[in-house]
Structure 1
């Protein structure tokens, strides 16, 4: 499985529509998707699926006209396809390199253990393949529930995952940890699987996806969320997670370089529930990193940290406060596709 910083051809978005849980927040959330789309087009292509045919045609015209006017390298390919929701990271295809070239794996998606409707999302990748969106890259079904947000790859055979997510019985109850490791080896080429047994984010529907907690930023470097407030409910779990990260070793036996990310102030919704704001939910694309920001004092410190981590990439803040109202963020609504998949 390639690392996220490997060359990409496109980023996949599943556009919100009134039939999703966004129906009463469309005016708030569509500008977030538009900001992501325009940021991506500055560097590479977009593949956008829309439930509504008219919206797909409208976006195709609008985004491509804007890209041409600004002489950008990216183009948008917008297609009509049914979807229950907008979380491309989890229902999108997972790319792997094989001796015969690229393949896209279509793992089963069941909305994080059956929490929400999922049938349209589970069929979305096949709709896109049938429409020719992936070119000559084959799409292969895998009879295993796995979301893209639950796996982090260093591109060299090591995966970072959480046991809270992958071992949840509502996903693959017949698989124990050894069987999951075997499957990840067979499908994603994982030679090593690093399991985090701690880590927690209030308001998270995913059972502790790794992309909300800790991320590879190079093969030997992991960034992670750190909570320094003993009064915060996250403090015990995240400190235990940090200690686990310190115990991990690279394939050559050396420790990982670890960079903590700022911990944003608590963001509470209208019902008094804490929302899952995390700076770990960033997206690496060609030449840039898109960083979620939440209109809290820690945003600037987060951007400074990312500029230090990625000195050769442009750091682009994307206001993601509306996204966390539905318990996800920037990385959750995007899925990168490697170079060679989408050529426009």
Structure 2
């Protein structure tokens, strides 16, 4: 039997994280200084652990960006043009086939044609492909990276609300997703959750705002146990019950739910589950809310072997996303040696070799 490629869980050792620099041409313009500060904080914490950062950036922003980062930061500036900075949803995924890293991309259509994604959808082949050892395989399916979560055994999580949106893959049923995820992502089991959705969420219930695996057979679930009168309470309670039934042998860690509204009094989809696992640390979103401390304590229980690093993501949630949404991990063995060598030189601009 021929070995299949399998999508790697997030806690696999990483050689880089991909980010896209927020600038005045993106939707971050009203909060630009605060958001750029968040990005710099993330970059500093990643590169302190010698995890390189591939930073997509427009040429006009290069010199200014350099002034905001410590010269020792291991950052590769890669010139690119993009619609916005939600790299989780258009950056390539990485599978392993007998130890060989195989990048895979899907079509990104702006979360079911809600927003223009024409530039983002070309980033992998026109920009990121030149950094990888192996060609990026293109799969003819609309799918965002934030819509799926996988563990080391090949169990893949997603949500029915997202996958069955007719403006993503009109007519495709869950049985067809089963086949595609098995073939291209090596999923041995697919669990498509029915419950859970946050107000203000443009993604139709991305799993990375709701349920995340831990390396030790645990599940971190965005609950609302702390807000019994919240409009989210019943739906998220049903999500917890659904996870308990689907994973009877896993330990469930329920996160409290913050309540954040913007100046127009719209509820923002703030989720503590939107964290980034990276090389023995978890970059964890906090929002200047009373629930931050409790959420941090629960995460320390869920990831006892990882350092939990709080990142102020209140500026990010103003655009209805958070920390995991803006990042994409690159497992070790994916990038060309010349790319890795550049990280050691501090902040440099990429030139294809």
TM-score (norm 1): 0.92
Q: Which residue of the partner structure matches residue 3 of structure 2?
A: none
**Structural mapping, 1:1-344, within 5 Å:** 1-43=7-49, 44-50=51-57, 52-56=58-62, 58-59=64-65, 63=69, 65-67=71-73, 75-99=74-98, 101-130=100-129, 132-134=130-132, 136-218=133-215, 220-228=217-225, 229-249=227-247, 255-264=249-258, 266-342=259-335, 343-344=340-341
1:314 to partner: Cα distance: 1.4
Query: Following the alignment from structure 1 to structure 2, what is the Cα–Cα distance between the partners of residues 100 and 318?
Result: 33
Q: Secondary structure at the match of 1:268?
A: coil
- Give the drift of 1:137: 2.7
Structure 2 residue runs without a partner (length 5+):
1-6, 342-353
- For the structure 1 residues 101 and 194, does the alpha-carbon distance in structure 2 shift closer, same or farther, using more than 3 Å as the test? same
In 2, Cα distance between the equivalents of 1:219 and 1:174?
37
Are the aligned partners of 2:224 and 2:255 in contact in 1 as well (CA < 8 Å)? no
Are the structure 2 counterparts of residues 246 and 123 from structure 1 closer, same or farther at C-alpha, using a change threshold of 3 Å? Answer: same
Task: Give the whole-Å Cα distance in 2 for the aligned partners of 1:296 and 1:62.
Answer: 27
How far is the alpha carbon of 1:226 from its aligned partner?
A: 1.3
Question: How far 1:263 moved relative to its partner?
Answer: 1.7
CA displacement at 1:315 relative to structure 2: 1.1
User: Secondary structure of the residue that 1:301 maps to in structure 2?
Assistant: helix
**Number of aligned positions between the proteins:** 329
Shift of 1:100: 6.8
C-alpha distance in structure 2 between counterparts of 1:100 and 1:334, whole Å: 24
Give the superposition deviation at 1:307: 1.6
Provide the C-alpha distance between the structure 2 equivalents of 1:219 and 1:205, rounded to a whole number of angstroms: 31
Q: Which residue in 2 is equivalent to 1:72?
A: none
2: CA distance, partners of 1:61 / 1:275:
32
Deviations 1:99-129 (CA, angstroms, capped at 9, x unpaired): 3711111110001001111000001111223
TM-score by length of 2: 0.90
Confirm or deny: 8 A CA contact 1:60 1:77 kept in the other structure. no
CA drift at 1:175: 0.9
Superposed CA deviations along residues 164-191 of structure 1, whole A, max 9, x for unmatched, are 1111111001311100110011110001
SS of 2:234's equivalent in the other structure is helix
Distance verdict in 2 for CA 1:57–1:137, change over 3 Å: farther
For 2:72, what is the secondary structure of its paired residue?
helix
Per the alignment, in what secondary structure is the counterpart of residue 103 of structure 2?
A: strand
CA distance in 2 between partners of 1:225 and 1:23 (Å): 29
Cα shift readout 1:61-116 (whole Å, capped 9, x = no counterpart): 7646133xxxxxxx211111010001010011011111371111111000100111
